[in-house]
A and B are shown apart, each in its own frame.
Chain A
Amino acid sequence: MSEKATPILETTGLKLHFPVRGGIFQRATNSCKAVDGVDLLINSGETLGLVGESGCGKSTLGKTIARLYKPTAGNIRFEGQEIGDLKRKELQPFRREIQMIFQDPYESLNPRQTVGGILEEPYVIHKLGTREERRKWVKELLEKVGLPESSINRFPFEFSGGQRQRIGIARALALKPKLIICDEAVSALDVSIQSQILNLLLDLQKELGLTYLFISHDLAVVKHVSDRIAIMYLGRIVETGDAETIYQKPAHPYTQALLTAIPVPDPEHIPSKQILEGDVPSPIHPPDGCPFHTRCPHVEERCRIEEPVLENAGKKEHLKSCHLNF
């Protein structure tokens, strides 16, 4: 996949802070540092898996990259062009290139629109095609995601969760984007349906040369679909590398704990769990020094003071942000 890896998207020092308001005048008294200095690189045609626990900022990062949020600081470069500070109007051409698939297929589809209407809307917004052409494209989209043509006049409630997710995927594909951000796209589905959707995403990637940013908390799923993986903790990337390296030789203690915490579907497997104590700290008051030091089993004095940066962890393109070596 990455013989000649050309970056399609690159973020540097990306931050997104939500104001926390208080007092009678609702002044911003503090900020929730959801994304706090993220450097990320996605190569064209690959799948980058983004893993982390709830509240780590992975969804916010996805939405910021799709420019559903305006970053507080930092850069987002899409195919070499800065999109972090573009205005609404200027963004419109990029909306065609970056699309999202959301977690909950029940909430992300308008219940009062027919499937045909939902899938036609992107073309209408971007003023593409005539009525007949759009109708034809919608039919092609349905076929691509494996739904019958008759779905066109039906409403979302008539479909099951898996089928709705297919509608969501079709909508994301409508404008022939280059990058698709899958935000927990299979988390709400049952295993037998989840595997159908994962297969569909893999097929579409092969067929259309798509790039995915695959956000999930399920490490087994991420391992299955990703070329490279980034692990996120408290608004920061703590480790990135190719999928095999991350799973075979995780360098960051958080990644190590995360991997041993996954229950293995094999009763003969003897779990060697490294159970992390405590909870993720609040992103409003992140700890000083290394963000992970409050839960890290190997914590040392300097972890409490000095914040580590992403640096080489041995192998090519394998980065970690940790002072210690294992």
Chain B
Amino acid sequence: MSTETPSASLLSIRDLCVEFDTDEGTVRAVDGISLEISAGRTLGIVGESGCGKSVTALSIMRLLPKPMGRIASGEIKFDGTDLIKLPAEDMRTVRGNRIGMIFQEPMTALNPVKKIGVQLSEVFFLHQTASKEEAWKKSVEMLDKVGIPSPEIRAGEYPHQLSGGMRQRVVIAIALACGPELVIADEPTTALDVTIQAQILDLMKSLQRDLGMAVALITHDLGVIAETCDEVCVMYAGRVVERAPVKTLFANPRHAYTQGLLASIPRLDGQPKTHLRTIDGMVPALKELRPGCRFGPRSGREHTETQLEARPEFIEIETGHWIEACPVCTE
């Protein structure tokens, strides 16, 4: 982190395309997206299921399922080096060490037959060549840091002995063990109850304050975005349709999809038992996508054939506020 130059981004993705081989041919799950995360900041990536947000996360970690998935083109620059071009061995020194990942489902992210302390020690073992005893000691410290009561005892327990919230704390402890510069959190609170979600978000915020890492937070919950992020990327059908500082995005959404998404969530201060605004239809299947404005068919606004065939440009309309400039969807 000491090498950072001011205003330089820690992670910068340029024109990333990710393809998957399926029985019905090759589909493009992520279609030329660009985004940036500055050191110590939080970027929210929001979108509905199938929009490519998790695939983006897995690409950064180079954890795409093999052999079906591959990065077709683009670059992922992390602190100046292109992760895509990195040899597998060098990638291993980055993954889990300089970039940590928090997964959605804490039960499946942890190994059920290994003690929590052992799973945490593994991280120190791999990246910091510590002795067994030292790794264990560090693990206990880490468990303490993420707010697990009596960490010495808990370290000797198995995942099934912990509640969902506690398990997610363990997953966070593993992700943060080596003091990464970037943490990718893929739906970290989706499987949790609201009161536990509040605990976990609070924990992540305070750890970010203490450790100064950048966070890429993937979620479908706009409430979580509003409360935790500095910047937001809205994804739809494999593309980023809008990117803006969080306040700008909520106050002045420019893309029809962002507007629709914001309008369709029920709000506590809304008029009860009234119709919510909806977005017609559903997210198109990846193989049916056309190269032009992808939200066009659902936007309820008339698009010309050219607009559905030619890809709209991704432009910056004011500082930090980028949109996919389909003239109909952003008018």
Q: State in angstroms the CA–CA spacing of A159 and B281 once bound together.
A: 12
Q: A257-B195, A265-B265, A266-B250 are in contact. Are A195 and B276 (CB under 8 A)?
A: yes
Cβ B221 vs Cβ A220 within 8 A: no
Cβ B261 vs Cβ A192 within 8 A: yes
Cβ B282 vs Cβ A263 within 8 A: no
Q: A191-B261, A223-B266, A258-B195 are in contact. Are A267 and B247 (CB under 8 A)?
A: yes
Q: Is the interface of B mostly helix, strand, loop or mixed?
A: helix
Which of B226, B272, B277 is in CB contact (< 8 Å) with A264?
A: B226
Q: State in angstroms the CA–CA spacing of A202 and B189 once bound together.
A: 29
Q: State in angstroms the CA–CA spacing of A199 and B276 once bound together.
A: 6
Cβ B227 vs Cβ A263 within 8 A: yes
Within 8 A of A (CB), among B231-285: 246-247, 250-251, 260-262, 264-268, 270, 272-279, 282-283
Cβ B194 vs Cβ A279 within 8 A: no
B174 interface residue (CB < 8 Å to A): no
Report B62 CB to chain A, min CB distance, Å. Answer: 28
A221 interface residue (CB < 8 Å to B): yes
Chain B residues whose C-beta falls within 8 Å of the C-beta of A265 in the assembled complex: 222-223, 225-226, 250, 262, 265, 267
Chain A residues whose C-beta falls within 8 Å of the C-beta of B197 in the assembled complex: 261, 263
Cβ A264 vs Cβ B276 within 8 A: no
B166 interface residue (CB < 8 Å to A): yes
Cβ B278 vs Cβ A261 within 8 A: no
Q: A191-B261, A225-B273, A261-B197 are in contact. Are A220 and B266 (CB under 8 A)?
A: yes
Report B110 CB to chain A, min CB distance, Å. Answer: 17
B111 interface residue (CB < 8 Å to A): no
Q: State in angstroms the CA–CA spacing of A193 and B198 once bound together.
A: 25
Q: A53-B194, A258-B195, A271-B227 are in contact. Are A191 and B165 (CB under 8 A)?
A: no
Cβ B194 vs Cβ A224 within 8 A: no
Cβ A224 vs Cβ B270 within 8 A: yes
Q: State in angstroms the CA–CA spacing of A206 and B283 once bound together.
A: 29
B93 interface residue (CB < 8 Å to A): no
Within 8 A of A (CB), among B185-199: 193-199
Which of A224, A226, A266, A279 is in CB contact (< 8 Å) with B226?
A: A266
Cβ B246 vs Cβ A202 within 8 A: no
Q: State in angstroms the CA–CA spacing of A220 and B223 once bound together.
A: 11
Chain B residues whose C-beta falls within 8 Å of the C-beta of A227 in the assembled complex: 273
Chain A residues whose C-beta falls within 8 Å of the C-beta of B272 in the assembled complex: 223-226, 243-244
A247 interface residue (CB < 8 Å to B): yes
B220 interface residue (CB < 8 Å to A): yes
Within 8 A of A (CB), among B280-294: 282-283
Q: State in angstroms the CA–CA spacing of A150 and B264 once bound together.
A: 29
Which of B193, B221, B246 is in CB contact (< 8 Å) with A217?
A: B193
Which of B166, B202, B223, B279 is in CB contact (< 8 Å) with A275?
A: B202
A40 interface residue (CB < 8 Å to B): no
Q: A192-B278, A199-B278 are in contact. Are A224 and B227 (CB under 8 A)?
A: no
Chain A residues whose C-beta falls within 8 Å of the C-beta of B165 in the assembled complex: 279
Cβ A224 vs Cβ B247 within 8 A: no
- The interface bits of chain B over 42-74 (1 if a CB of A lies within 8 angstroms of the residue's CB, else 0) are 000000110000000000000000000000000
Cβ A264 vs Cβ B195 within 8 A: no
Cβ B276 vs Cβ A224 within 8 A: yes
Cβ A247 vs Cβ B194 within 8 A: no
Interface residues of B, Cβ cutoff 8 Å to A: 48-49, 163-166, 193-199, 201-202, 220-227, 246-247, 250-251, 260-262, 264-268, 270, 272-279, 282-283
16 contacts between A and B (CB under 8 A): A191-B48, A191-B222, A195-B277, A202-B275, A219-B194, A220-B223, A223-B268, A224-B270, A224-B272, A224-B273, A261-B194, A261-B197, A263-B198, A263-B223, A266-B250, A275-B195
Interface residues of A, Cβ cutoff 8 Å to B: 47, 53-54, 160, 162-163, 190-196, 198-199, 202, 217, 219-221, 223-227, 243-244, 247, 257-269, 271, 273, 275-277, 279
